[in-house]
């Protein structure tokens, strides 16, 4: 940052400043915690000598707050990989099962959007295909904020719902599946080479929001990367050019994510990794009937309050997943 031409490259300088601020925040928070511990220890000694119960109760309250602060810093230490600070895309796809699974996919999308709101993160809809009767067939969301990818990277996989179906006139219990794919938003300093000959670009009419212009022109764009068979699409912009630009950014992100996963396979058990993200190997079950329980099948962490979880309060599950990272 002390270099004379540091601010000339705005993209790179923004990235470095963001990382600097995050590290400074972590160090300052640690130093503040150490000072608070020392102050509370001294205050507690005085309270014991004076047998002051009011001060001792106040110290206990401060210790509780301090523990929460230390826990937040501990989580940040687990978000230390080079890609963890990046923003994130989330792709949601309904499984087999028609309306039931499409409604479940929509519930999951709402869960992640509520989580984003709780964190004061920015988010926007990239593309969406609505269900025939209710819910969504697929959706792609971009979330921006500190360590978004680091928080969400272990959410990729199959999510299973068991409930009494609101679409079944016989009120029978149904099991539904939806897949989640989380991958990082690649910044401009990460070089991902994409050859034009490897791309198939299709345009189509948008079916989502965006006004009359979007709905009456072929502004939506779908790009297929032929070698990897990766498909990305965008329809949220009015301009076909803007949608294509967003698609290319998503494709770069997907290819970057592919390289990350490939490196992980080289240092882990391939079969274990396949079972984590393969269809039919759910990472988490949300049971609303005949009992109420959300259970992560990788960490065995459980919650008996599925309403809270589906309303975006998923931090405990995300934290337990981070603790499992080798």
What's the rounded Cα separation, in Å, for the pair 313 and 118?
8
Q: Which run of H or E residues covers position 141?
A: strand 136-144
| Other CB atoms within 10 A of residue 3 CB | 8
Local confidence band at 83 (pLDDT 50, 70, 90 cut-offs)? confident
- Domain membership of residue 95 (yes or no) is yes
For the chain, give the mean pLDDT: 85
Cis? peptide before 21, omega within 30° of 0: no
* Same domain for 112 and 58: no
Answer yes or no: do 107 and 176 share one domain.
yes
End of a domain among 78, 107, 132?
78
Kindly tell me if the per-residue pLDDT of 210 is higher than 50.
Answer: no
| Domain total in the chain | 3
Tell me, yes or no, whether 174 and 205 share the same domain: no
Give pLDDT tens digits for 93-136. Answer: 999 888 999 999 999 999 999 999 999 999 999 999 999 889 99
Same domain as 283, residue 162: yes
Cα 126 to Cα 235: distance, rounded to the nearest angstrom: 6
206 and 291 share a domain?
no
Is 1 inside any structural domain? no
Q: What is the CATH number of the domain that holds 290?
A: 3.30.70.1660
Read off the pLDDT band of 325 (50, 70, 90). low
Residue 137 lies in a domain: yes
In a shared domain, residues 22 and 163: no
Query: For residues 24 and 19, what is the distance between their CA atoms, to the nearest angstrom?
Result: 9
Nearest by Cα to 139 from 167, 100, 181:
181
Q: What angle do CA 81, 105, 76 make, to 5 degrees?
A: 20
Mind listing the pLDDT tens digit for each residue in 257-302?
888 877 777 655 544 444 444 455 789 999 999 999 999 999 999 9
Its domain, for residue 283, covers 88-186+278-323
Q: Are residues 228 and 93 in the same domain?
A: no
Q: Residue 83: inside a domain, yes or no? A: no
Q: Phi/psi of residue 146, each to 5°?
A: -70, 125
Per-residue pLDDT averaged across 3-16, rounded? 71
The verdict on residue 271 lying in a domain is no
Q: Is the pLDDT of residue 34 over 70?
A: yes
Least-confidence region, from 11-20, 110-119, 183-192, 286-295: 11-20
Q: What local confidence, expressed as pLDDT, does residue 176 receive?
A: 93
pTM for the whole thing?
0.77
Assess whether 99 and 243 both reside in one domain. no
CA end-to-end span of the chain: 33
Closest CA to 204 of 184, 187, 188, 221: 221
Domain annotation covers residue 270: no
Q: Could you tell me if 141 and 98 lie in one domain? A: yes
**DSSP-derived 3-state class of residue 247:** helix
In a shared domain, residues 98 and 181: yes
Nearest to 182 by CA among 110, 72, 86, 314: 86
Tell me, yes or no, whether 64 lies in a domain: yes
Query: Does residue 269 belong to any structural domain of this protein?
Result: no
Q: What are phi and psi of 287, to 5 degrees?
A: -105, 120
The partner residues of 246 in beta bridges, in order of sequence, read none
Q: Are residues 295 and 146 in the same domain?
A: yes
Mean pLDDT of 78-101: 89
> Where is the domain boundary, 78, 104, 132?
78
Which of the listed residues 78, 105, 131 is the one where a domain comes to its end? 78
Distance CA 127, CA 102 (A): 15
Q: Is 178 found in the same domain as 103? A: yes
CA distance 88 to 257: 11
| pLDDT tens, residue by residue, 149-180 | 999 999 999 999 999 989 888 888 999 999 99
What is the 3 state secondary structure string of 280-309?
CCEEEEEECCCCCEEEECCCCCEECCHHHH
Cα separation of 72 and 93, whole Å? 32
Residue 215 belongs to a domain with what CATH number? 3.30.160.20
Q: How confident is the model at residue 148 (pLDDT cuts 50, 70, 90)?
A: very high
């Amino acid at each position: 940052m002390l270099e004379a031409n540091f601010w000339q490259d705005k993209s790179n300088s923004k990235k470095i400043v963001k990382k600097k601020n995050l590290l400074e925040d972590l160090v300052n928070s640690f130093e503040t915690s150490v000072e608070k511990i020392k102050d509370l220890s001294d205050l507690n000694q005085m309270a014991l000598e004076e047998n002051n119960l009011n001060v001792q109760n106040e110290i206990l309250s401060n210790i509780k707050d301090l523990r929460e602060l230390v826990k937040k810093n501990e989580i940040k230490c687990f978000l230390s990989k080079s890609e963890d600070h990046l923003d994130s895309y989330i792709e949601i796809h309904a499984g087999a099962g028609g309306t039931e699974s499409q409604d479940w996919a929509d519930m999951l999308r709402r869960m992640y959007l509520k989580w984003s709101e709780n964190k004061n993160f920015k988010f926007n809809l990239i593309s969406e295909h609505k269900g025939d009767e209710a819910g969504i067939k697929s959706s792609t969301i971009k979330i921006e904020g500190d360590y978004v990818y680091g928080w969400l990277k272990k959410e990729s996989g199959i999510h299973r719902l068991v409930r009494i179906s609101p679409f079944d006139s016989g009120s029978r219990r149904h099991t539904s599946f939806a897949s989640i794919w989380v991958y990082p938003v690649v910044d401009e300093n990460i070089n991902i080479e994409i050859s034009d000959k490897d791309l198939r670009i299709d345009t189509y009419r948008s079916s989502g929001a965006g006004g009359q212009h979007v709905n009456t022109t072929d502004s939506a764009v779908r790009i297929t990367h032929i070698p990897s068979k990766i498909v990305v699409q965008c329809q949220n912009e009015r301009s076909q050019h803007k949608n294509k630009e967003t698609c290319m950014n998503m494709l770069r992100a997907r290819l970057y994510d592919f390289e990350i996963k490939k490196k992980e396979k080289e240092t882990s058990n391939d079969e274990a990794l396949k079972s984590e993200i393969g269809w039919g190997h759910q990472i988490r079950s949300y049971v609303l009937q005949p009992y109420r329980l959300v259970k992560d099948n990788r960490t065995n962490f459980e919650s008996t309050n599925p309403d809270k979880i589906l309303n975006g309060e998923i931090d405990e599950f995300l934290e337990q997943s981070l603790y499992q990272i080798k």
